[in-house]
Amino acid sequence: MNYKEIPKVELHCHLEACFREDTVMEVGRTLGLDVPQDSARFHSDWLLSQPLENLQIALKRFVDIQKIWCSEEVIERMAIEACEYAVEQNIRIMEFRYAPDFIASGKPHLTFQKIHDAILRGLARASDLDIAIGLIGIVQKTLSLADAERTVDFIIQNSGTFVGLDFADKHTHEFASYASMVQKARETGLHVTIHAGEEPLPSASNEVRGAIEILGAERIGHGIHIINDEAVMALVRERKVALEVCPTSNWLTSSVPSVSEHPIRRLIDSGVPVTINSDDPGLFGIDLCHEYEILHREHGFSTEDFNRCNDIAAAQSFIPSSVKQAFWPRKIGAVDSV
């Protein structure tokens, strides 16, 4: 199977962790960072290629990468290179997400608006590429509620250049604390996806339920650990909430014991809408075609399976229908009709 030939949709890709190895080496060197200049050492010292104890330990690997997003010029460059990566993977509809607070941390010269404008300049340079691109703004769940509201307000102020809002990172506050923020965002036309149900915790399925029932999540980032809760799976099916599934990511963060034991096939067989994503391809040293290869090898995915997941993703993309349909080879319809 030629994975690159399959037209793809990616809904869950963190812009900060979608980078070219050579670019990080170059920028790191100019910053005086101890970035290995050979590929083998770079992979072992800077990337996440073997499972760590849990998601929180894995998230610490982002610290070095955060330093690379150091200036408006570098941010613009990283954004256009991410778009070029997507086209190389034959991704026709691409949603990048990023956290303004994450990039800005420790960089007083970079305001949220400067960061966002630099990203937009990078995306504008991709306007001649055969791809529809949308941006999702991330609110880190580790922020204080005041800082979370500040970030949401920034995303709302720029709602014309965002398609959605996401809450990610460690679950710190009750979902109800964010309800008024989400409502304000939705009133400006922004869609909502929430990271939930990623880790194998007793609270996993309740996280997904809360994201849907309290915050009105239209999609769930990961959500794989609803697999043993038929009531929550029924809720997901009823509301047509797609899961943004990231197989290698789930293995590397020890959310699943191995890719072969990933519940993606069981979720699909249970009628749950599933999409296929890479999450943090640069940080993991993978690409989206790699995810297709392992799903074909470990779970017997066929071209028809991939097309089904991609048609679901095309329908669930927050990018306006008139924009995304121009880049998708099949008619985009509702989730239950694809």
Contact 3, 91 (CB under 8 A): no
Superfamily, domain 3-328: Metal-dependent hydrolases (3.20.20.140)
Among 178, 219, 235, CA closest to 318: 219
The model's pLDDT over 71-124, given as tens digits with 9 standing for 90+, comes to 999 999 999 999 999 999 999 999 999 999 999 999 999 999 999 999 999 999
Among 246, 244, 222, 236, CA closest to 271: 236
- Average pLDDT of the chain is 95
Contact 248, 290 (CB under 8 A): yes
Among 223, 273, 199, 285, CA closest to 248: 285
The number of residues making up the chain comes to 338
Which residue type, as a one-letter code, is found at position 76?
A: E
pTM: 0.96
Hey, how many other C-beta atoms are within 10 angstroms of the C-beta on 8? Answer: 26
User: Around 338, how many Cα atoms within 13 Å sit in the side-chain half-sphere?
Assistant: 24
Tens digit of each residue's pLDDT, the chain (338 residues): 999 999 999 999 999 999 999 999 999 999 999 999 999 999 988 898 888 766 666 666 778 899 999 999 999 999 999 999 999 999 999 999 999 999 999 999 999 999 999 999 999 999 999 999 999 999 999 999 999 999 999 999 999 999 999 999 988 999 999 999 999 999 999 999 999 999 999 999 999 999 999 999 999 999 999 999 999 999 999 999 999 999 999 999 999 999 999 999 999 999 999 999 999 999 999 999 999 999 999 999 999 999 999 999 999 999 999 999 999 999 998 776 45
- Domain spans in the chain, listed from the N-terminal domain onward: 3-328
Question: Residue 170: what pLDDT?
Answer: 86
| DSSP state at residue 54 | S
